Amino acid sequence: MFHSILFDFMLIGALGVGSQWIGWKYRIPAIVVMSIVGLLVGPVFGILQPAEDFGELFKPIVSIAVAIILFEGSLSLDFREVRGLGRPVLRIVTLGAFIAWLLGSLGAHFVADLSLAVAFVIGGLFIVTGPTVILPLLRQAKLKPRPAAILKWEGIIVDPFGALLSVFAFEIILFLTNEDVTANALLFFFFASFLAVVIGYVLGKGLGYMFENGHVPEFLKSPVMFAVVILCFTVADEIAHETGLLAVTAMGMTLANMHISSIEDMRNFKENISVLLVSAIFVMLTASLSVDTLMQIFNLNIISYVLIMLFVVRPLSIWVSTIGTDLSFAERTLVGWIAPRGIVALTVAGYFASVLSEAGFEDASILTSLTFALVFATVCAHGFSIGWLAKKLDLAIDGQPGVLIVGGSSFSAELAKVLKELKIPVLITDSSWQRLIPVRKAGVPFMKEEILSEQTEYHLDMTPYEYMISASELDSYNALVCNTFVPEIGRSNLFQLTLHNRRGDDLEAMGNTIGGRLLFNEQATWEHLNEKVDSGYVFRKTNITNQYTYQQYMKERHPETLMLFVYKPSGKLSFFTHKSQPKAENGDVIVSLMPPSKEFQKIQDKIIEQRNENGEDQENPDSKE
């Protein structure tokens, strides 16, 4: 009914972001959803045909999007992150990549029945496991820091090198088969690759210098970086095809290791853009496939090659390349299995399918089908198995969402004890040993670190913690902590104690964009909570059941009870805040802070006694902790 480029852009954006939401909501790999959606609206129903509709703009749009995605990934490659992992990462991205190229190429020749020339081109491309696929899977699986760092570094570094390896193999083939191609072409390729690194490094250094010395205003930093990334990619790619990816990777790594003060804000902007681009490009590429391409996937040679890549080439390349490193058996097993291919493989394969066919290699016509088969198979197989395998190998953080409490105090210590008893991961951080005294006495996990320090990022693994409570005595500090961790945790799971409003810093006047959600009620300030704990108030866990309902609990609770949070059987926590009063259901546990009233306890004992006399097999719903 509608057919316009504007409609195509709208539909691609809606389908891409919608797929991301479905993946998040139902905890399934979003890339799988995007691929299926793209196939449905493209070759299956013919609603969307981006390659035809966009015409000559299609390839530049995809190329620039890939460059931005790769730059955003490389912007997180801080060398401090791989301390102790330098040797395994280096071996995997060099020896491991070479073995994967060699084995993958031989497999393409003997199993997929490609000529040696075409096989070595496509084998080089299939070593990539870029950030478009690996980073979303890492966020989903919640791996421990070591395997997550290895997979992330491999994916981002090998991504441009896979494309360059294919170009190198192609140039070698032309040199050996075409008399018009001389050794100068090979020398030019190596020079262009070196020049791409230099371009990326110089632009990264120059941009970092301008940012740090105030030559670019804050409101222009992200747009300027965006423009320079496109400049870097385009200049390098115009000099030699596919070297642009190497240039933007070098630029991103240069900026990441300059430790610019405002880099985090720009990284957040780039990450948001990258999520949108990954969503759009995956839908565009899958929607652009033809029915004939899809039918070729069921060729026995292609299926056999995909299985060889999954179960032989990848595991063997990792196991051989990591011999002599300190990687454990479990880490080598996980890394040896996870290798999803993504956007770079699809886009570059399309390019080589055309240039190889033009050079007289007729078997290159199946490259697009072969590549999509491998991409879809690896995305599905690794996307659905990474979480399960990581848990089996004890390389995943416990699925129970944890709580990170900032600020040591009596209240923090007792709250952490209750969370620990509920088997919820909990950690208290504070920069002062003095404030950590009650925490150490309570025997709960703690870390003496300043949570806002840049070094803490490399000492503290944030993966287990989905909730943060800033519970220091300073309102302004609590607000600053919450604002800092908005990108990592999200505003809905960031909390701080009630504001004092008697110290002169009226933070309530600053609006809802400053600080976290205010906990409990308007009287629950830092002083108030710690006075209650120090005076003998106790934390109670109350089980809500069919016999003891939430309404009955609310009716019988002590009038001075402070409602803290509701613990769901799924592990989810619903905190009581100024604006949110969650209701408990059957099976939930309500945690509250109550006075140690003897009269109240007598009433509770009498209620339980009456229930027992009535024949109800019900334990005391309240247990003093």
pLDDT, tens digit (0-9, with 9 covering 90-100), for 279-327: 888 888 888 888 888 888 888 999 999 999 999 999 999 999 999 888 8
Is residue 254 exposed (0-12), middle (13-18) or buried (19+ Cβ within 10 Å)? buried
Give the pLDDT score at 513: 59
Q: 237 and 105 in one domain?
A: yes
Which whole number is the average pLDDT over 153-160? Answer: 80
CATH number at residue 122: 1.20.1530.20
Which whole number is the average pLDDT over 463-492? Answer: 85
Strand order across the 573-575 sheet: 573-575, 562-567, 589-594, 538-543, 622-624
Last residue of one domain, picked from the residues 392, 409, 444: 392
Cα separation, 244 vs 230, in Å, equals 9
Q: 130 and 155 in one domain?
A: yes
CA angle 204, 208, 210 (to 5 degrees): 120
Are β-strands 562-567 and 589-594 bridged in parallel, bridged antiparallel, or unpaired? Answer: antiparallel
Q: 530 and 436 in one domain?
A: yes
Give the pLDDT score at 104: 93
Report the number of secondary-structure helices (H) and strands (E) in the chain: 27, 11
| Whether the Cβ atoms of residue 352 and residue 367 lie closer than 8 Å to each other | yes
pLDDT 10s digits, 513-568 = 577 888 888 888 888 899 888 888 889 888 888 888 888 888 888 888 888 999 98
Q: Which two tokens stand for residue 555?
A: 């009716």
- Say if 359 falls within a structural domain: yes
Give the pLDDT score at 85: 64
Q: 94 and 28 in one domain?
A: yes
Q: 114 and 210 in one domain?
A: yes
Q: 495 and 576 in one domain?
A: no
| Whether the Cβ atoms of residue 237 and residue 244 lie closer than 8 Å to each other | yes
| Whether the Cβ atoms of residue 206 and residue 156 lie closer than 8 Å to each other | no
Q: 413 and 381 in one domain?
A: no
Give the pLDDT score at 179: 61
pLDDT 10s digits, 11-33 = 999 998 998 888 878 877 777 88
**Chain centroid to CA 322:** 25
Cα separation, 409 vs 529, in Å, equals 10
Give the pLDDT score at 176: 73
Angle between helices 58-74 and 218-239 (to 10 degrees): 120
CATH number at residue 506: 3.40.50.720
Give the pLDDT score at 616: 47
The better pLDDT of the pair 250, 29 is held by 250
The better pLDDT of the pair 556, 427 is held by 427
Backbone angles phi, psi at 401, to 5 degrees: -65, 130
Angle between helices 243-256 and 218-239 (to 10 degrees): 150
Which whole number is the average pLDDT over 506-511? Answer: 52
Q: Does residue 51 sit in helix, strand or coil?
A: helix
Q: Does residue 390 sit in helix, strand or coil?
A: helix
Give the pLDDT score at 455: 63
Last residue of one domain, picked from the residues 392, 419, 437: 392
- Asked if residue 77 has pLDDT above 60, the reply is yes
| Residue 572 neighbours by CB distance under 10 Å | 13
- Say if 18 falls within a structural domain: yes
- Say if 53 falls within a structural domain: no
- Say if 54 falls within a structural domain: no
- Lowest mean pLDDT of 172-186, 276-290, 334-348, name the range: 172-186
Range(s) of the domain holding residue 429: 398-535
Q: Could you give the C-alpha distances from 131 to 134, 231, 258, in angstroms and in order? A: 5, 21, 21
Give the pLDDT score at 608: 61
> Percentage of residues in the chain with pLDDT exceeding 90?
17
Give the pLDDT score at 204: 92
Q: Could you give the C-alpha distances from 301 to 171, 462, 625, in angstroms and in order? A: 26, 44, 64
- Lowest mean pLDDT of 266-280, 297-311, 404-418, name the range: 266-280
Residue type (1 letter), 277: L
Backbone angles phi, psi at 575, to 5 degrees: -85, 145
Q: 34 and 154 in one domain?
A: yes
Q: 322 and 433 in one domain?
A: no
Buried b or exposed e, range 603-616, using 16+ CB within 10 angstroms: ebeebbeebeeeee
Q: Across the chain, what does the average pLDDT equal?
A: 82
Give the pLDDT score at 619: 44
Q: 150 and 172 in one domain?
A: yes
Last residue of one domain, picked from the residues 503, 535, 567: 535
Q: Could you give the C-alpha distances from 199 to 237, 248, 388, in angstroms and in order? A: 11, 9, 42
pLDDT 10s digits, 397-407 = 766 788 999 98
Q: 493 and 445 in one domain?
A: yes
Q: 489 and 588 in one domain?
A: no
With bands split at pLDDT 50, 70 and 90, how would you rate the model's confidence at 226? confident
Give the pLDDT score at 553: 85
Domain count, the chain: 3
Give the pLDDT score at 548: 85
- Asked if residue 248 has pLDDT above 60, the reply is yes
Cα separation, 22 vs 18, in Å, equals 6
- Say if 56 falls within a structural domain: no
- Say if 260 falls within a structural domain: yes
- Say if 55 falls within a structural domain: no
Give the pLDDT score at 201: 94
pLDDT 10s digits, 96-107 = 999 999 999 999
- Say if 426 falls within a structural domain: yes
